[in-house]
Amino acid sequence: MQLLTYPRDSYSLDGEWQAIPDQYEMFRDYFDDFVDDEDGDSAALPDDEGQPALSFESIYEPSASGTDDITDFNIYDGYSVAVPSSWGEEIPEFRHFEGWVWFARTFDREAIDERDRTFLRFGAVNYKAEVWLNGERLGEHEGGYTPFSFEVSDELRDGENVIVLRMDNERYEDGIPNESTDWYNFGGVNRSVDLVSVPETYLRNFKVETTVGDDSVDVRVDAWLDGPDADAEASVTLPELGVDESLTSDSDGRLSAELSFDRDDLTLWSPDDPRLYEIELAYGTDAVTDRVGFREVEVRGSDILVNGEEIWLRGIALHEEVAGKGRALDTEDVQTRFQWINELSCNFARLAHYPHTEEMARTADEEGILLWEEVPAYWDVNFGDEDVQELYRQQLRELIQRDWNRASVALWSIANETDHNDETRNEVLPEMAEYVRSLDDTRLVTAACFADETDDGIVVRDPLEDDLDVVGINEYFGWYYGDSDDMQHFQDDPDGTPVVISETGGGAKWGNHGTEDDRWTEEYQAAIYRGQTEAAAANEQVAGMSPWILFDFRAPMRQNEYQRGYNRKGVVDQHGRKKKSFHVLRDFYTSNPRQ
């Protein structure tokens, strides 16, 4: 499996696919029989009479009556479904379906702008995927939120080609996430599918790292190649900065260049001035272009710094979800999210609880919003299982290698609300923090943890703190327990690890009014926001917050009369209607004394 850089020309396989549910997981056996002949090769290529390349029909003998139309399912006769989409929102019959679904579509080879090697890339399939092209099995992927691709150069054939995808959104005890989450399990091909063609040796990925000095800015550019030819000329160009440099190769096939600028000669990226520069990497006949920002994030004492200057993170957390569409966001949906984020006067957003579409980070780059990105290691993960650990590393890797050129991404979060009394967890999470740093040591590593209430006040007793650059604290004083201003009693060590209140809030149904003592009213929720924001602003160790949450989201475990399948902690509801808490938070962020 290969991970391709994102910004490349591609042939889109979005649009109409066929889908058939396989609730009893029976079609798999038929399909295996069908694609494997005695030599282990595919028997699925079209025959001379031009039969469809893959048809479940052909696994049946014609009936005695002479009609061969006795099939119960046929991949060419499924439900028509748009890709990308969440199937439950797309097809009424699939509304709450969790299980196996077979997807298929065809394309013509001649439509691709084909070069030597071609890859089939999926932006995200929730949760497990297994893929065939023209009956040849390409491979499989686990994890619902990150991209994956397979090389298909040898499987492509002239004329019509058929992709078959078997996927399922079952919830697994050994999955990441595991079986229970406080969000809806939207099955589907939730992000785009593309064919990408590249030369024999191509640029697989690249990485830009910035170190900001008092007078200078050092930029290291690394590039990774895939293919047999390591001798071609490679270069990095930054046209706006007059840079056109060669990349020199090391023994691992990694190409690097070290660039140095006077600080006055370039504009650093920051939330106040999110300057991006065009960059082109070229290798032989291959080239990738992108827009990148140069900036450095660090911690000093309990402060978070961007380009050496302290910043207080005025944030909000959000899920990736749109009412009626599930998890398949389009550009307009992304823009709407940033409009709310900007209206709140945020400089920071927590993309919870799994990798969101890469377009979020690209837009955050443009908008100057710092991001917390995370993998869905949530609540009860089977940390002791080595396969789970491998899956964990895989999801971290796929996210980090996708977004490591986004200046907006400041924090990688490795976990959310895991049990700090679990010894196995306490062994595994530090390893994951190290793994993140081995991939990318230019960002801060964090996790959303719990605080403990003790006789000495509210304190962080999570041993993972020693392995994190920033500690996230999820707390619900004023909602699940205590009073909204209890965080006044939170530890306050100006030299301690910076703390971000990664969640706080309470539920309110939009339009439900009452007093500040009436739960589920906008007034009750607004009062929580007042108490929490005041306490956060007064604490030196708290370097920012991302209250829970921007908008109401689907959550099967929330079923009381105010919820009906939604977690109502949004400051806007699922239709975008603002609650009173939205205005409290905006007022706080526009007047925050810590700015």
Nearer to ligand GCB, 197 or 474 (CB): 474
Least Å distance, CB 384 to ligand GCB, is 22
Least Å distance, CB 556 to ligand GCB, is 12
Nearer to ligand GCB, 347 or 474 (CB): 474
417 binds ligand GCB (CB under 6 A): yes
Binding mask 341-360 for ligand GCB (x = CB under 6 A): ------------x-------
User: Residue 255: which of 204, 179, 314 has the closest Cα?
Assistant: 204
Single residue of 405, 474, 484, 512 touching ligand GCB by CB under 6 A: 474
The Cα angle at residue 197 between residues 191 and 199, in degrees rounded to 5: 145
User: Residue 165: which of 325, 27, 52 has the closest Cα?
Assistant: 27
3-state helix, strand, coil in the chain (%, to 5): 20, 35, 45
Compute CA distances 518 → 503, 529, 564, whole Å: 22, 15, 19
Single residue of 116, 182, 200, 226 touching ligand GCB by CB under 6 A: 182
Compute CA distances 174 → 392, 415, 430, whole Å: 11, 16, 20
Least Å distance, CB 109 to ligand GCB, is 45
Single residue of 567, 572, 578, 584 touching ligand GCB by CB under 6 A: 567
Single residue of 397, 569, 580, 586 touching ligand GCB by CB under 6 A: 569
Nearer to ligand GCB, 118 or 413 (CB): 413
503 binds ligand GCB (CB under 6 A): yes
Nearer to ligand GCB, 353 or 554 (CB): 353
Single residue of 42, 201, 416, 546 touching ligand GCB by CB under 6 A: 416
209 binds ligand GCB (CB under 6 A): no
How far is it, in rounded angstroms, from Cα 470 to Cα 172?
30
Pairing between strand 348-351 and 370-374?
parallel
Q: What is the 8-class DSSP label of residue 2?
A: B
How far is it, in rounded angstroms, from Cα 406 to Cα 293?
7
DSSP three-state, residue 65: coil
Nearer to ligand GCB, 182 or 298 (CB): 182
How far is it, in rounded angstroms, from Cα 571 to Cα 577?
9
Nearer to ligand GCB, 234 or 415 (CB): 415
Per-position DSSP letters for 490-551, written without gaps between them: B---TTS--EEEEE----B-TT----TTSTBSHHHHHHHHHHHHHHHHH-TTEEEE--S-SB
Nearer to ligand GCB, 208 or 473 (CB): 473
Q: Tokens for 456?
A: 């000495």
Least Å distance, CB 262 to ligand GCB, is 45
10 binds ligand GCB (CB under 6 A): no
Least Å distance, CB 548 to ligand GCB, is 6
How far is it, in rounded angstroms, from Cα 510 to Cα 520?
9
321 binds ligand GCB (CB under 6 A): no
Residue in the shown chain whose Cβ atom is closest to ligand GCB: 182
- Read off the amino acid at residue 361: A
532 binds ligand GCB (CB under 6 A): no
Least Å distance, CB 353 to ligand GCB, is 6
548 binds ligand GCB (CB under 6 A): yes
Nearer to ligand GCB, 474 or 539 (CB): 474
Pairing between strand 542-545 and 313-318?
parallel
- Read off the amino acid at residue 327: R
Residues that bind ligand GCB in the complex, under the rule CB under 6 A = 182, 353, 416-417, 474, 503, 548, 567, 569
